[in-house]
Structure 1
Amino acid sequence: MQKRFQRNREDFLCEVCGESVSGDGYTNHCPKCLWSRHVDINPGDRANSCRGLMEPIGVEGRDPYRIVHRCVACGTTKRNKQEPNDDFEALIELSRNSADRFSKGE
């Protein structure tokens, strides 16, 4: 199977916070709470049968930041770019929480 991006323009209702999200073909997480769903094997293919919720567990880098998600069903970890409409306060809080977990050795 090729690693090739497949753009899928999809709107969805966030299963965590209830936000109605208008997808632009690159959207893979809720811009309000930053949670995602484990649906892709390769970006955009929607071929993963897991379908578990992906918890945002950390933030890496900068410009753009990358949100680290871990699937609550299977444990897979993925990184996704911050989107322009992501709630910046949610990113700051996620960064703060992940730093606290790291300092506690979690």
Structure 2
Amino acid sequence: MSRKKENSGFSCGYCGSIVHPLSNGSFRNHCPVCLYSKHLDDKPGDRNSDCKGLMQPIGIKNNSRKGLQIIHKCTICDLEKVNKIADFDHQSDSINKIIELM
């Protein structure tokens, strides 16, 4: 899959918000409003998962290289993955939702 196609907007499967792609060179894989994601990948960016379940935000961790990350758990298969929090700007993740997870 091309990186341009991977960086496309989507409608959140949990709250219905329209999510626009990031313009800073990063790729958004979760909703900035409710922080939910979707279980699409087996390996980052491959879109090969058969599950397609919603990934519930369940916590926050700090990675010394990547900074703050959201811990997601799939509501169908229980897989846990971490995702980098979007930079704090006009396209940032909801700081209130992040604080709720801490």
Which range, TM-score by smaller chain? Answer: 0.7 to 0.9
Unaligned stretches of 5+ residues in structure 2: none
**How far, CA to CA, are the matches of 1:94 and 1:19 in structure 2?**
20
Q: CA deviation at 1:64?
A: 2.2
Deviations 1:80-102 (A, max 9, x none): 1101211111100111xxxxxxx
Q: What is the alpha-carbon root mean square deviation over aligned residues?
A: 1.8
Q: Which residue of 1 aligns with 2:12?
A: 14
State which of 39, 56, 73 in structure 1 corresponds to 2:76. 73
After TM superposition, the runs of 4+ consecutive aligned structure 1 residues lying more than 6 A away are: none
Deviations 1:12-69 (A, max 9, x none): 1111111100123611100010000000011111111100000000001167211000
Map 1:82-93 onto structure 2 (within 5 A).
82-84=85-87, 85-93=92-100
- Paired residues in the alignment total 91
Q: Highest CA radius of gyration, 1 or 2?
A: 1
SS of corresponding position for 1:65: strand
Equivalent AA in structure 1 for residue 81 of structure 2: K
Q: TM-score, normalised by structure 1?
A: 0.78
Equivalent AA in structure 2 for residue 89 of structure 1: N
Percent of pairs with identical residues: 41
More helix by share: 1
More strand by share: 2
Unaligned stretches of 5+ residues in structure 1: 1-5, 96-106
SS of corresponding position for 1:61: strand
